[in-house]
A and B are shown apart, each in its own frame.
Chain A
Amino acid sequence: MIISIASGKGGTGKTLVATSLALSLKENTRVQLLDCDVEEPNDHIFLKPIISESQAVCIPTPKVDEAKCTYCGRCAEICAYHAIVVFPKTALVFAPLCHGCGACSYLCPEKAISEENREIGVVEWGHSDGIQFVQGRLNVGEAMAVPVIRAVKARTSHDGIAIIDVSPGTSCPVVESVKGSDFCLLVTEPTPFGLNDLALAVETVRMLKIPCGVVVNRAGVGDEKVEEYCRKEDIPILLTIPLDTSIAHLCSQGIPLVEGKPEWKDSFLRLFDAIGEMVNERDCSPKR
Chain B
Amino acid sequence: MKEIVVLSGKGGTGKTSIVGSFAALAKDKVLADCDVDAADLHLLLQPVAREKQEFWSGQAAQIDSQKCIQCGLCQEMCRFEAIKDFKVDSVSCEGCGFCAHLCPVQAIALRENMAGHWFISDTRYGPLVHARLGIAQENSGKLVALVRQQARELAEKQGSSLIISDGPPGIGCPVISSLSGASLAVLVTEPTLSGIHDMERVLGVCRHFGVPAMACINKCDSNDYNTYQIVRYCHSQNVEVAAQIPFDNTVTEAMIQGLPVVEYRQNDVSRQINVLWETITGRLTN
**A242 to B: closest C-beta gap in Å:** 13
A109, CB-defined interface residue at 8 Å: no
Choice from B79, B168, B252 contacting A102 with Cβ under 8 Å:
B79
Is A193 a contact partner of B40 (Cβ separation < 8 A)?
yes
Which of B22-30, B92-100, B152-160, B233-241 makes up part of the contact surface?
B92-100
Q: How far is the CA of A254 from the CA of B226 in the complex (A)?
A: 11
Proximity string of chain A (247-280) to chain B, C-beta cutoff 8 Å, 1 when within and 0 when not? 0110111100000000000000000000000000
**A229 to B: closest C-beta gap in Å:** 14
A103, CB-defined interface residue at 8 Å: yes
**B23 to A: closest C-beta gap in Å:** 16
A171, CB-defined interface residue at 8 Å: yes
Contacts of A191 in B (CB 8 A): 252, 255-256
Is B137 a contact partner of A81 (Cβ separation < 8 A)?
no
Is B98 a contact partner of A102 (Cβ separation < 8 A)?
yes
A100, CB-defined interface residue at 8 Å: yes
Query: Size range of the interface on A?
Result: 35 or more
Chain B interface residue count, CB cutoff 8 Å, equals 61
Is B222 a contact partner of A140 (Cβ separation < 8 A)?
no
Is A8 a contact partner of B38 (Cβ separation < 8 A)?
yes
B126, CB-defined interface residue at 8 Å: no
**A50 to B: closest C-beta gap in Å:** 18
Choice from B10, B97, B194 contacting A103 with Cβ under 8 Å:
B97
Is A192 a contact partner of B43 (Cβ separation < 8 A)?
yes
Given known contacts A101-B94, A103-B98, A192-B255, is B205 in contact with A141 (CB within 8 Å)? yes
Proximity string of chain A (17-54) to chain B, C-beta cutoff 8 Å, 1 when within and 0 when not? 00000000000000000000001101001000000000
Given known contacts A101-B98, A171-B138, A196-B38, is B193 in contact with A253 (CB within 8 Å)? yes
Given known contacts A9-B11, A40-B201, A145-B172, is B133 in contact with A80 (CB within 8 Å)? no
Choice from A138, A172, A252 contacting B136 with Cβ under 8 Å:
A172
Contacts of A138 in B (CB 8 A): 171-172
**A180 to B: closest C-beta gap in Å:** 11
Q: How far is the CA of A102 from the CA of B13 in the complex (A)?
A: 40
Proximity string of chain A (115-151) to chain B, C-beta cutoff 8 Å, 1 when within and 0 when not? 0000000000000000000000010111111000000
A66, CB-defined interface residue at 8 Å: no
B47, CB-defined interface residue at 8 Å: no
Choice from B9, B135, B138, B223 contacting A204 with Cβ under 8 Å:
B135
**B107 to A: closest C-beta gap in Å:** 17
Residue in A102, A171, A172, A245 with the greatest tally of chain B CB atoms within 10 Å: A171
Question: In the complex, what residue of chain A is closest to B91 when comparing beta carbons?
Answer: A175
A236, CB-defined interface residue at 8 Å: no
Proximity string of chain A (162-183) to chain B, C-beta cutoff 8 Å, 1 when within and 0 when not? 0000011111111100010000
Given known contacts A11-B13, A196-B43, is B197 in contact with A40 (CB within 8 Å)? yes
Number of A-B pairs whose CB atoms are under 8 Å? Answer: 181
A107, CB-defined interface residue at 8 Å: yes
Is A222 a contact partner of B136 (Cβ separation < 8 A)?
no
Is A223 a contact partner of B136 (Cβ separation < 8 A)?
no
The 8 closest A-B pairs by CB, nearest first: A10-B11, A11-B12, A101-B96, A39-B170, A103-B98, A140-B204, A169-B37, A143-B173
Binding site for A on B (CB under 8 A): 8-13, 16, 37-38, 40, 43, 59, 77, 79-80, 91, 94-98, 101-102, 133, 135-138, 140-141, 168-177, 190-195, 197-198, 201, 204-205, 208-209, 222-223, 226, 249, 252, 255-256, 258
Binding site for B on A (CB under 8 A): 8-12, 15, 39-40, 42, 45, 78, 80-81, 99-103, 106-107, 138, 140-145, 167-175, 179, 191-193, 196-197, 200, 203-204, 207-208, 221-223, 245, 248-249, 251-254
Instruction: Add 4 more A-B contacts to A106-B98, A196-B38, A252-B192 (CB < 8 A).
Output: A102-B98, A143-B176, A175-B136, A222-B252
List 27 A-B residue pairs with CB atoms under 8 Å apart, sorted by A's residue number. Answer: A11-B12, A39-B201, A40-B169, A40-B171, A40-B197, A42-B194, A80-B95, A99-B94, A100-B79, A101-B98, A102-B98, A103-B101, A107-B98, A140-B204, A141-B204, A141-B208, A168-B11, A168-B12, A168-B169, A169-B169, A170-B136, A171-B140, A193-B43, A196-B40, A204-B136, A222-B255, A251-B194
